[in-house]
Amino acid sequence: MTPVSRWSSSSSSDMEFFHHRYRHVMPLSDDSSDLLEPPSSSGRDSNDTHSTAPTSHPSCRSAECVGRNHVRFEEQTQEFDYNDYFNKFREDVNVSVDCPSRSFLEAIAQIPVYDKDNKPRSFGSLWSGPTSIGERQLIIFVRHFYCGACQAYLKALTKTITPQSYFTMPIPTSITIIGCGGTNMIEAYKEYTGCPFPIYADPTRALYHALGMSWTTDFGNKRPDYMKDISIPRWIYGQMVQANEQVSKQGLKMAMRSGHWLQIGGEFLFENEEVIWCNRMKHFRDHVEIHRLKELLEIE
């Protein structure tokens, strides 16, 4: 089910401030309007609706906005409450808790994902047939490739599921990561996370849409265990640093192909060619906690 989108009742000047601050640092897809437009309704309930979000960035020239103190992220001040500010941009997301049916999985099995060399393989080949690995397959859908929350999640996952625990799970289980950005970002993402598991890209977000994963502006009001040492300002600032780094390495156009910044992901556990458990995120920091994954995978 798609969410009923809702921008908070913040003032227009707050919205101007938000866009003025981030219009230069939030990587976009090839079409800049894609950032604020909801995903297509393909595979969704036609009765669900989205509110209209802004489709262009205000120039922020109003007297009130110009008069504001536009604090840089690295300059923590007592006058600016980051958590309070970002909580103004909240959105309720209603996603299904049901696992997709076997027949539905068969219908979407041919949707391609791409490796770092831009070579395609079918989604179904990850969990079905001779190319699938293990008796079970855990597929984790992350957000855009600069997302510090997802990077922290994969770092925690990698630290917890060591080679020893990976190869001694009671039920052999492969782990695969899928992001929504361009394939050119995969190598940098692997470097940022230290993730040893295969990483693929779904740049059209066709699988995200089909599997019922949504989009949101919600940062979440509780810091998960995998981000216990990472505050919102540090999280956002880290994304800016990485974006600037990739601009210098790949150029502006390629560096901006990190994926849709409002898309959220989830986790799907396959066994015998069907999903036996899944979690669809409701906000930016809503990956299933690592201790819960350990329980599911029966890791001591």
Count CB atoms within 10 A of the CB of residue 73. Answer: 18
Does residue 170 lie in a domain region? Answer: yes
**pLDDT digits 0-9 by tens, 22-60:** 333 333 333 333 333 333 333 333 333 333 333 333 333
Does residue 9 lie in a domain region? Answer: no
How many domains would you assign to the chain? Answer: 1
- According to DSSP, the residues that pair with 268 across neighbouring strands are 139, 278
Per-residue pLDDT, 91:
54
Read off the pLDDT band of 135 (50, 70, 90): very high
CA angle 219, 224, 225 (to 5 degrees): 155
142 vs 178: CA distance, rounded Å: 6
Domain limits at 163? 102-297
Q: What percent of the chain has pLDDT over 90?
A: 61
**pLDDT digits 0-9 by tens, 159-184:** 999 998 999 999 999 999 999 999 99
Per-residue pLDDT, 92:
60
72 vs 80: CA distance, rounded Å: 11
Please enumerate, as own/partner, the contacts of 245-252 that have beta carbons within 8 Å and a separation of 24 or more. Answer: 246/185, 246/188, 249/188, 250/184
Specify the higher pLDDT residue, 221 or 114. 114
| Tokens representing residue 25 in the block | 């640092």
276 vs 4: CA distance, rounded Å: 27
Region of poorest pLDDT, from 82-86, 114-118, 135-139, 179-183: 82-86
Q: What CATH number should be reported for the domain holding residue 170?
A: 3.40.30.10
Side-chain-side CA neighbours of residue 238 (13 Å): 16
Does residue 235 lie in a domain region? Answer: yes
Mean pLDDT of 120-146: 97
Does residue 84 lie in a domain region? Answer: no
Per-residue pLDDT, 229:
85
